[in-house]
Amino acid sequence: MTAPSLNLIVLRAANPGLLASFYSNLGFQFEVEKHGTGPEHLAANTGGSTFEIYPKTTADSDTSAVRLGFRVGSNSQILGDLGDKVDVITSPSRSEWGMRCVLRDPEGHKVELVE
């Protein structure tokens, strides 16, 4: 049996535009989408997967406990681009996976960056 590959990540946000702006600094390019009668949301396609940001509608749709990890070209460039809009949990340091840092996005999700 072949291992599955990840093709979709969905986050919920009180302010989808602000969250998309944060992830745009990582290189994601979002577009507005709407499927059938579902809510309007933001979507970015990258590396064979889709990253969507939906509006948070109830406390049950909270995704802040989700932790994401991305391989990036330069942690220092991303941190510089984000400036004071970022909450750095762990500053860049060497790890067995490469130079690694952990951030918190505007909705509280932990985001691990490895270069």
- Residue range 90-105, pLDDT digits in tens: 999 999 999 999 999 9
pTM of the entire predicted model: 0.90
Which contiguous run of DSSP H or E holds residue 92? Answer: strand 87-95
Would the pLDDT of 3 be above 90? no
Q: Which residue has the tokens 């400036």?
A: 83
**Each residue of 36-84: pLDDT tens digit?**
998 999 999 988 899 999 999 887 788 999 999 999 999 999 999 998 8
Domain ranges of the chain: 8-114
Q: State how far the Cα of 30 lies from the Cα of 51, in Å rounded to an integer.
A: 9
Across the beta sheet with 110-114, the strand order is 67-71, 110-114, 98-104, 87-95
What the block records as the tokens of 59 is: 């406390």
Q: Note the CATH architecture for domain 8-114.
A: Roll (3.10)
